[in-house]
Structure 1
């Protein structure tokens, strides 16, 4: 069996999808879960993009012990310097530099000749190699590049010190057969290819990201770049869970395997959903709500006779459990904590304390607390939202013949604040009351509500995205009362906005004091 390395770029390419930004604590939490998942390499960010990105890459590099930590860098000295500064304390650091090689990118974006691109790529790989021996070079838009020119670039950068060459399908343009042929051509026409890993990075614009990645594995690729839940720019990236489980389930065909701990796939997927607020469609392969659901009578009959009639992998193989022990208001902390572990969650003592309190409150409102309820509670506790404003209480007066009125009370360090407002319904009125207290102008970009489980006593999960100065801030809330869940989500988004603003002010002050401005 060939070993295929998994390069996860959820923290970099994944975070670039609109509304999926993470704060420092969330990035560290995701990084530690990716390490637990067993990824070979994690791309922690684009160090030069901002002071916040630099700090996140640096912190992840210092905390992660068992995975290689990479930072992206343009093929420029200042980018490579910054990338190395961010990852140098990692147990296994990598500099990942890139330059476009397609005719359209060279002509219109870079405004350089092929000869100039070849020279720049070679010199910058050589420059990066003075910092560390683990250097990856990506030929941006490789799938639309001239194959002979690509071979010339790859041969040159390998000679200059690159030990990984990446062949990205940057705009999701290629097809499986075409990509297979390209990988094969590069393998056969780069004389020193044996000195480097062949990596691929496929986007999903035509829905072929996973198919193209698997075709590349068949052609001889040794590293796959992907993201959890397939998040990423535009239509996203190839989904890690789909690639890994395809290789795992069809070892007979691909004759390849990864080092991924597949039982951590579902917990990792849930964490990304909680942190980013990017929901997964029910029929999503591997981790969707319906991935292991069977409603058809014929299917159910087959499943009862032998599960392999309609399931090619087990729920347990990705970290789902079939634990039937019912939890309710009489259940103790030990049973609750055991269920969290069975569901794949590893919370701190403080997070477990908070989750258990929330569980007891929920159990007083619901007859039976399901695994999905517990997952929702655990996911909410995993999301690290700074509590600048704290929710206290609300009162609603609403009906179809009167104007909705909301009285909302929230607090911050200097005291409690209470306001009353009217609106087009109780939720709108509640938001306007909070706006009066906070006194900041922003736009409600997105509002999503969904039921966690079935029944009249189901919890409602609300995700809100607020837009301020071109940046989207996400908040989430959970309650059996959808108005309360909405208020919590709204406050959560505002808290993230205020926290980000305070961080930027602090960074600006430090720059001035350090003489950088």
Structure 2
């Protein structure tokens, strides 16, 4: 690093706005939200999402409550085009959701974008071109007039292409890309030239997106830029000012909040801040910041853990354990004094006749995002909560115990290393069935039939028929319950010694023809941990299958 960085870098200039009003404003209503996870977020991934993951992500965004979703860059290639047109043609877009696509200001790209949306009920086409001095001088080698003409020409094509599909309710967005480092008067001039072409109305305003394409100044300067623009743009009632902050300086959330105070109507960002370089603004943080100020963001983050799992699975990026609101450690106190204060805060909260939340160290009641206090304080010791477990729960209705998640994740990692490719949901399911001997004929301890009876001393007697290496065997055992009876029978008949450490079961929520699942964690004669999984329409039979599965692993 330079001892005198001023030789290489210069401070960003202030905006001449001495009568700025935004510092005295407060945020009193949520903005129009746009998720750009499927476009800006997706293009920033090492391995972009395939169609399956994009669809999963889209459905989750809809469930959260996003009403405007940028679904892709249709001219980028067949994968993007097919996904977008597939959403339209399959009627996957709810009536209250409007999808958006992005295009550069080129005729072929714009035409391709409109083609991908053919048949849509409503759609936003987002046109952009860079306008700042560095881009004009270095990238395009054009003057102001040339740059403005690119925007005007693109707007004319938007207008004409929309007229060819009159059954769709078309909305238009224009971005003077690199707005944050451009001259304000020139951004204004270009935007008004685009408005001259598209002729927005109060009922159908144009979206003018003012991106901090590269965050180059403190967030107060961005707010000044937004307020200046809002004051000076003509026909303000025909314009929706949209923000697209990036996070190069680490202040993207602050820039968005100050930008809303400065008069912006709309915010574009990604869940958990994914995006180019240091990322787009985080919609989760923005929304929850409003929530903890008593203002509904009109977004539903009440199952935050599930949202995190989805994002991690689709993006193949971890959500940082210290990420605001969503990180697995943000509600956890390690310090004894912190824990004591939180516990006393919960007790005081329960004793008060006041619903206002006031607990030390916790600005948010964890229950509001799907966690209870006991779960929160233990979250630092849990493992295996990633996308693999989420896929099995989502697709097959399996809710794996935490320790089983960790055990199975090793098998998945080995499979990924061997295959040297991305694993899809079916790969994971096949690996799970193979690892825990489900849905195929095991070589050892296949259940043929069984019955259970009660002895005169109150113990339970298990009597069963087991197919072992092609030979049917009759076995029996006695214990305090069904599981202990099966364990006893295996020890007596086959010499397989198991000690049951943990057992859990649940009704399945879908995905297979079985209606119940059972999981058993055991130690074998050598003290090694073995797992068994059983599924059946009957929960008791599922538990027997789980013990036999563990025995097969131990044998």
Matched, 1:272 2:323: no
Matched, 1:194 2:233: no
- Determine the C-alpha separation between the residues in 2 that align with 1:142 and 1:257: 30
Aligned-partner SS, 1:309: coil
**Matching residue of 1:103:** 133
**Matching residue of 1:84:** 114
Instruction: Describe how 1:241-390 pairs up with structure 2 within 5 A.
Output: 241-251=284-294, 258-307=297-346, 308-321=359-372, 351-353=395-397, 355=398, 359=400, 384-385=424-425, 387=427
1:85 to 1:386, Cα distance in 2 relative to 1, 3 A? farther
Higher normalized contact order (CA 8 Å, seq sep 6+, divided by chain length): 1
Q: Tell me, yes or no, if the aligned pair for 1:165 and 1:199 is still in contact at 8 Å.
A: yes
Aligned-partner SS, 2:126: strand
**Matching residue of 2:278:** 235
- Determine the C-alpha separation between the residues in 1 that align with 2:299 and 2:433: 45
Given candidates 134, 137, 144, the residue that maps to 2:171 is 134
Cα distance, 1:347 vs. partner? Answer: 6.0
**Matching residue of 2:70:** 43
Given candidates 208, 213, 223, the residue that maps to 1:170 is 213
Q: Tell me, yes or no, if the aligned pair for 1:158 and 1:193 is still in contact at 8 Å.
A: no
- Determine the C-alpha separation between the residues in 2 that align with 1:160 and 1:175: 34
Q: Tell me, yes or no, if the aligned pair for 1:6 and 1:40 is still in contact at 8 Å.
A: yes
Q: Tell me, yes or no, if the aligned pair for 1:5 and 1:258 is still in contact at 8 Å.
A: no
1:390 to 1:346, Cα distance in 2 relative to 1, 3 A? closer
Aligned-partner SS, 1:133: strand
Cα distance, 1:267 vs. partner? Answer: 2.2
Q: Tell me, yes or no, if the aligned pair for 1:75 and 1:97 is still in contact at 8 Å.
A: yes
Cα distance, 1:60 vs. partner? Answer: 3.2
Q: Tell me, yes or no, if the aligned pair for 2:45 and 2:315 is still in contact at 8 Å.
A: no
**Matching residue of 2:38:** 11
Q: C-alpha offsets along residues 108-138 of structure 1, whole Å, 9 cap, x if unaligned?
A: 2223221122222123223213415301111
Aligned-partner SS, 2:243: strand
- Determine the C-alpha separation between the residues in 1 that align with 2:219 and 2:306: 30
**Matching residue of 1:179:** 222
1:306 to 1:102, Cα distance in 2 relative to 1, 3 A? same
1:154 to 1:271, Cα distance in 2 relative to 1, 3 A? same
Q: Tell me, yes or no, if the aligned pair for 1:44 and 1:60 is still in contact at 8 Å.
A: no
Q: Tell me, yes or no, if the aligned pair for 1:267 and 1:345 is still in contact at 8 Å.
A: no
- Determine the C-alpha separation between the residues in 2 that align with 1:106 and 1:168: 17
1:266 to 1:394, Cα distance in 2 relative to 1, 3 A? closer
- Determine the C-alpha separation between the residues in 2 that align with 1:344 and 1:317: 21
- Determine the C-alpha separation between the residues in 1 that align with 2:211 and 2:304: 24
Unaligned runs of 5+ in 1: 325-342, 396-455, 458-478, 481-517
Aligned-partner SS, 1:210: helix
- Determine the C-alpha separation between the residues in 2 that align with 1:375 and 1:387: 13
Cα distance, 1:90 vs. partner? Answer: 3.2
Given candidates 156, 164, 183, the residue that maps to 1:146 is 183
1:24 to 1:13, Cα distance in 2 relative to 1, 3 A? same
- Determine the C-alpha separation between the residues in 1 that align with 2:288 and 2:372: 17
- Determine the C-alpha separation between the residues in 2 that align with 1:384 and 1:92: 32
**Matching residue of 2:260:** 217
Using the TM superposition, name which of 262-271 and 73-82 deviates more: 262-271
Provide the TM-score with structure 1 as the length reference. 0.63
Aligned-partner SS, 1:19: coil
1:160 to 1:247, Cα distance in 2 relative to 1, 3 A? farther
Aligned-partner SS, 1:199: strand
Given candidates 85, 100, 103, the residue that maps to 1:73 is 103
Given candidates 83, 86, 90, the residue that maps to 1:59 is 86
Q: C-alpha offsets along residues 475-497 of structure 1, whole Å, 9 cap, x if unaligned?
A: xxxx99xxxxxxxxxxxxxxxxx
- Determine the C-alpha separation between the residues in 1 that align with 2:136 and 2:371: 47
Matched, 1:158 2:195: yes
Q: Tell me, yes or no, if the aligned pair for 2:245 and 2:256 is still in contact at 8 Å.
A: yes
1:18 to 1:104, Cα distance in 2 relative to 1, 3 A? same
- Determine the C-alpha separation between the residues in 2 that align with 1:374 and 1:292: 27
Cα distance, 1:142 vs. partner? Answer: 0.4
Q: Tell me, yes or no, if the aligned pair for 1:248 and 1:257 is still in contact at 8 Å.
A: yes
- Determine the C-alpha separation between the residues in 1 that align with 2:239 and 2:187: 15
**Matching residue of 1:491:** none
**Matching residue of 2:419:** none
- Determine the C-alpha separation between the residues in 2 that align with 1:196 and 1:102: 22
**Matching residue of 1:117:** 147
Paired positions, count: 361
Aligned-partner SS, 2:39: coil
Q: Tell me, yes or no, if the aligned pair for 1:197 and 1:223 is still in contact at 8 Å.
A: yes
Larger radius of gyration: 2
**Matching residue of 1:440:** none
**Matching residue of 1:484:** none
Aligned-partner SS, 1:33: helix
**Matching residue of 1:34:** 61
CA-based RMSD: 3.5
1:376 to 1:68, Cα distance in 2 relative to 1, 3 A? farther
Cα distance, 1:314 vs. partner? Answer: 1.7
- Determine the C-alpha separation between the residues in 2 that align with 1:221 and 1:154: 15
1:97 to 1:221, Cα distance in 2 relative to 1, 3 A? same
